[in-house]
Amino acid sequence: MEKHPDIRIRVVKNGPYQVSGNVPLQIQTIGANTEGESIEWIAGRHITPESQPFYLCRCGHSRNKPFCDNSHKQALFDGTETAGHTNYIEEADLMEGPAMLLTDVQKLCAFARFCDPNGQVWGMVNETDDPAIKEQFIKQASECPSGRLIAWDKATQTPIEPQLEASIGIIEDPAQGISGPLWIRGGIEIADATNNPYEIRNRVTLCRCGASRNKPYCDGSHASIKFHDGLE
């Protein structure tokens, strides 16, 4: 995927994310049905940075979330990156259905739960010869913010990706009473603390609670520690 040359995120060693470029920053809320299942993304208010570049909290301790206020220094935050630079497809498990394929990298799970309704995507892939199930399968896989799950057309062996503008979403999850990761969308380059870029992808999620074991990516740890940013 082509990157946006004027937008870049760099991980600061044991510190925040440095964001360069004019990129929209907006709250994105997980909308749930009456059973608590994730069914839609609800775009919320825009947040305007006061400077360029700007810095987004990575340790979870800032009193000025989503921005960094240097609390990582007092917290002695260990932001060591453990994710490595292996490309998604090299790590993905593959499931094959009659009309669709599903790839899955479990350690990228951001606990957004769009995969769960209608029998879960891992079961739905086996029924993708049914047009209605195929359509729902694609929708649910495409709404996974972390890109853990990707639906592929079996006949052409091509991934089906949503059209996402370059932007950063701040995920809120009121159904669970928690706040989620940063949702990086539309092919923004992310570089590690040594300035070595990670694979450029259409959708990834970056940890902002400080607890992920797969830094800089989210691994769903915000759910277990009940992270809440106070923005919503």
Say how far apart CA 229 and CA 175 lie, in whole Å: 15
Q: How many other C-beta atoms can be found within 10 angstroms of the C-beta atom of residue 131?
A: 9
Q: In Å, how far are 107, 110, 145, 185 from 181, measured between CA atoms? A: 14, 7, 9, 12
pLDDT of residue 146: 98
pLDDT tens for the 232 residues of the chain, in order? 666 778 999 999 999 999 999 999 999 999 999 999 999 999 999 999 989 999 999 999 999 999 999 999 999 999 999 999 999 999 999 999 999 999 999 999 999 999 999 999 999 999 999 999 999 999 999 999 999 999 999 999 999 999 999 999 999 999 999 999 999 999 999 999 999 999 999 999 999 999 999 999 999 999 999 999 999 7
Q: Residue 1 class from Cβ within 10 Å (0-12 exposed, 13-18 middle, 19+ buried)?
A: exposed
pLDDT of residue 1: 66
Report the relative pairing of strands 149-153 and 100-104 from DSSP bridges.
antiparallel
Entry pTM: 0.97
Residue that is written with structure tokens 């086996």 in the block: 126
Phi/psi at 89 (nearest 5 deg)?
A: -65, -25
pLDDT of residue 100: 98
